Amino acid sequence: MRGPASRTWLAVLAVAVVAALTWREMLGLSLYAWDTFPLIAASSSDFAHVFTRELMDGRFPGGHFYRPLVELSFAVDHALWGLDARGYHFTDLVVLIVSGALCVRLATRVLGAGNVHWAVLAGLIYVLHPVQFEILPLPPRRADALSAMFVLLAVGLDARRVRWPTAFACLCAIASKETGVIAAPLVFAFAVAESVESEVGARFLRVTREESRT
């Protein structure tokens, strides 16, 4: 009989295969979205200052944002692929697959290893959700995908045991998109829910004291 760890890995593999097969034709698309080429140009022209400037060096017409991990990923894509659209779409597909795997892991943590079939369903819902049609074909929407990936990573970690990796994942979520700030309260909420105290108030105080000693 397979152990819980083996079943979890099989679940992750199943979700990854479904995601790859479902979205493989996306690799043949062009570089869509009006802000794709300006983002590529800004990311590749000043790689050294990607962490010290605004998105597109402040030239984004929709507002002023700080998303260094998005620009960094575009700079790496440009260095590897130039303007070959397949490279950018491949990166986005990898982010989706990793996010699906993290979703399976989080669901397994919440539901228990004995309910791995529900974890598979959660991962499949994530990678097959219609919202992906609004994200995957458009490389600049990578900000949403990266932010979601790091939120899933942060929440899936045991913050009481690996605090610094959890904090780093939260920081990466924010550095991908402003909405990634939701990672920190979600991590705290999970810690409260998993506390050994019987009362909610006692759980809240326990986790607060633990975090204040970090």
Q: Are 138 and 32 in contact (CB under 8 A)?
A: yes
pLDDT at position 5 is 77
Q: Is the dihedral of CA 96, 139, 78, 175 positive or negative?
A: negative
Domain ranges for the chain: 138-214
pLDDT at position 213 is 55
pLDDT at position 210 is 59
Give the count of beta carbons closer than 10 Å to the beta carbon of residue 207.
Answer: 22
Reported as a single tens digit per residue, the pLDDT across 14-73 is 999 999 999 999 999 999 988 999 999 888 877 778 888 898 888 888 788 999 999 999
Give the count of beta carbons closer than 10 Å to the beta carbon of residue 192.
Answer: 18
pLDDT at position 1 is 42
Alpha carbons 99 and 84: distance in angstroms, whole number: 24
Q: Which residues of the chain have pLDDT under 70?
A: 1-2, 195-214
Beta-carbon contacts of residue 163 (< 8 Å; ≥ 6 apart): 214
